[in-house]
A and B are shown apart, each in its own frame.
Chain A
Amino acid sequence: MYCNKLPDKPDDRKKIWDKVDNMARANSLWVTAYGTGCGAIELRPLHTSRFDMERFGIAMRPTPRQADVLIISGYLAVKTLKRVIRVYEQIQDPKYILALGSCTINGGMYYDSYNTLNILDRYLPVDVYVNGCMPRPEAIIDGFSLLMSKIKAGKADGWKHYVDNLEYYRENQKKVIHNWDLPDYNW
């Protein structure tokens, strides 16, 4: 089921309840349960009693419709990028991207691979990077707390940036995805 209508430009006017909204958003981050690379293995321990991410209000959601955060967990192959774009665009605003591992920053150990993206920021708006190969669960929790403080401060606006600069992102995405058969926007 596709929708070809482009998203409306986000409303940037300040509202009195923005602070309450941002507090709620920061303390209830629902993550799409979708692992794109090897880093997904480091997300599993976050559920366990040792790290327990639920104490921060972070929960996994099995469907992008109900999620707020998309984690790009490690290297992103071109083939996966296509799926990631669909998943990201199906998440309802406001939405955030947490990128794990060196691969998302500069390609990491796959920097010269023929089918792996090197700089994720060119294709999707990343809110927080967590470096390491792979980052330990503690580092991921640290990344989440950084994302939370950005949301509370109202500065996690990658999703607005994506809508404002959709043409730039589409151009970059189409450069690497040669068999582009997606609609203009999939929500």
Chain B
Amino acid sequence: MIPLVISITFSALAALVWGLLLGGISRMVTARIHGRIGPRLTQNFIDVWKLFRKKSSIHHGTMFWLAPMFRIAGAIGVLVLVPLVVGNTVIVNMSFSGDLLLVVYFMFFGCLGMALGAGDSGHPYAVIAVSRGLAQMSSYELSFSAVILVLAAGLRTLSIEEIVMAQQDGILSWNLFRYPFATAAALITLLPMQMAYPFSIVLAPQEIPIGPPTEYSSRFLSFMLSGRAIFGVAKLVLFVNLFFGGASGWVSLLFKTFLLYMFPIFVSTVFPRFRTEQSIRFLWFVPTSLAAIDLLRVMI
């Protein structure tokens, strides 16, 4: 029990630090693309600390309090099910057969908690954003489920650990090369998962001020930013495991997650935002069709 608690705490803290650092890097990269100097690398740490130490005197109900916890719980839930480094026995991994389905549920769980909390805040913009977010989420879950079907049909397993082990015979055995269309579909679904443009209809800063967290302040926001950082890293690790051969060591894990994290950043900086119906239509047709090509290839 004790090793399990230590291991979960360690991986959550490591994911938090790496997530906040990646957030800092992304702000710097975005600034350089805009031709600005941009904030310092540690800006996200400073922001989270400042928010944590700010006073909070607003109360909107139980779900309002619980939502950031749901977010962090969902993020840690994903993190403990995904093997961080292939063959590592120090960090306890709670992987079991069929955990890929549970991971998809955990990804939904955090967002759902957030939706309930934002609804509890009673702010109209938060409610608009929640309805947009849930609509978009059910669209990209369709494409992501199609991708999971490809992996399950091709590799005959729903265990993330077995999917990673099946990719250990050199680069060409990675699912990226085995199922290129499904990987492309998954990378497209990564954009709405990371709330990147053109799928940023949930936060939509200039449109519905900031969406679900409009009423969240101080510690709540600090927890939400931390949860987002951990969740971001958990998703990246999941993608590395599913399509990019897993990580053979810590350096490889950092390198692969870093490269993968840059993909939504570069797409984000050059695209404007979709409208809600455009986003849903795109997610229903493009990534789902791409995944269907590989699914047909696998089935036939």
Q: With A65-B216, A94-B54 known to touch, is A24 a contact of B49 (CB < 8 Å)?
A: yes
At the interface, yes or no: A27 with Cβ under 8 Å from chain B? yes
Q: With A52-B31, A66-B217 known to touch, is A92 a contact of B57 (CB < 8 Å)?
A: yes
Inter-chain contacts of A94 with B (CB < 8 A):
54-55
**Pick from B27, B39, B43, B217: contact of A65, CB under 8 Å:** B217
At the interface, yes or no: A62 with Cβ under 8 Å from chain B? yes
**Pick from A17, A28, A48, A63: contact of B50, CB under 8 Å:** A28
A28 to B58, CA, bound (A): 21
A62 to B207, CA, bound (A): 10
Q: With A49-B34, A63-B209 known to touch, is A92 a contact of B47 (CB < 8 Å)?
A: no
Are the CB atoms of B57 and A187 closer together than 8 Å? yes
A139 to B34, CA, bound (A): 23
At the interface, yes or no: A3 with Cβ under 8 Å from chain B? yes
Inter-chain contacts of A52 with B (CB < 8 A):
31, 36-38
Are the CB atoms of A65 and B215 closer together than 8 Å? yes
Inter-chain contacts of A49 with B (CB < 8 A):
34-36
At the interface, yes or no: B153 with Cβ under 8 Å from chain A? no
Q: With A24-B49, A54-B27 known to touch, is A92 a contact of B36 (CB < 8 Å)?
A: no
At the interface, yes or no: A57 with Cβ under 8 Å from chain B? yes
Are the CB atoms of A1 and B39 closer together than 8 Å? no
A21 to B46, CA, bound (A): 9
Are the CB atoms of A24 and B38 closer together than 8 Å? no
Give the Cβ gap from A25 to chain B, nearest Cβ, in Å.
5
Give the Cβ gap from A93 to chain B, nearest Cβ, in Å.
4
**Pick from B31, B58, B210: contact of A187, CB under 8 Å:** B58
A45 to B51, CA, bound (A): 26
**Pick from A21, A55, A62: contact of B39, CB under 8 Å:** A55
Give the Cβ gap from A32 to chain B, nearest Cβ, in Å.
11
Q: With A92-B55, A187-B58 known to touch, is A65 a contact of B50 (CB < 8 Å)?
A: no
A52 to B35, CA, bound (A): 9
Q: With A52-B38, A57-B46 known to touch, is A93 a contact of B216 (CB < 8 Å)?
A: no
| Known A57-B40, A68-B54; 9 more pairs at CB < 8 Å | A24-B50, A25-B50, A25-B53, A28-B46, A57-B43, A57-B47, A62-B209, A66-B51, A93-B55
Interface residues of B (CB under 8 A from A): 27, 31, 34-40, 43, 46-47, 49-51, 53-58, 60, 122, 205, 209-210, 213-218, 221
